[in-house]
Amino acid sequence: MLTLTGDAVSAIRGLTVQPEVSDNGGLRISSAAAENGSVEMVATIAGGPNPHDEIVEVGGVRVYVDPLAAPVVEDKVLDAEATEQGQVRFELITRPEDSLIDE
């Protein structure tokens, strides 16, 4: 199952407390075809889950994972950092084999 770092939880919380985001708001991870034909993960703010999304809830924030993205992110850790432009950059990191604890 996808796990989140403390930085990712803080970033998602900051993005979802905006007035235009509903109480069920969260980060949605979905897959999209890249220009080179590979599949890339896309993160967007969503008002709630789609019907078949997996829901990961940590620290009071929600991440909605679309069914096509779920197998790709199941062994990943979601991290976040602020860019120099003040935006949030999310990164999926492969979880070390010896780290089996979900947050």
Residues of the chain where predicted confidence (pLDDT) is lower than 50: 100-103
User: Domain for residue 103, yes or no?
Assistant: no
Given this model, what pLDDT does residue 32 score?
A: 84
- pLDDT at residue 92 in the model: 94
Q: Give the gyration radius of the chain's Cα atoms.
A: 13
Residue 86 covered by a domain:
yes
Q: Which two tokens stand for residue 54?
A: 């997996």
Range of the domain at 68: 3-94
Tell if the pTM clears 0.75, that is, is over it: yes
User: What pLDDT, on a 0 to 100 scale, did the predictor assign at position 103?
Assistant: 45
Q: Tell me whether residue 99 is in a domain.
A: no
The tokens describing 32, both together, are: 């999209």
Examine residue 66 and state whether it is found in any structural domain, yes or no. Answer: yes
- Residue 19, by phi and psi: left (phi above 0), alpha (psi -120 to 50) or beta? alpha
pLDDT digits (tens, 9 = 90+) for 52-61: 999 999 999 9
Alpha carbons 96 and 103: distance in angstroms, whole number = 14
* CATH classification at residue 53: 2.60.300.12
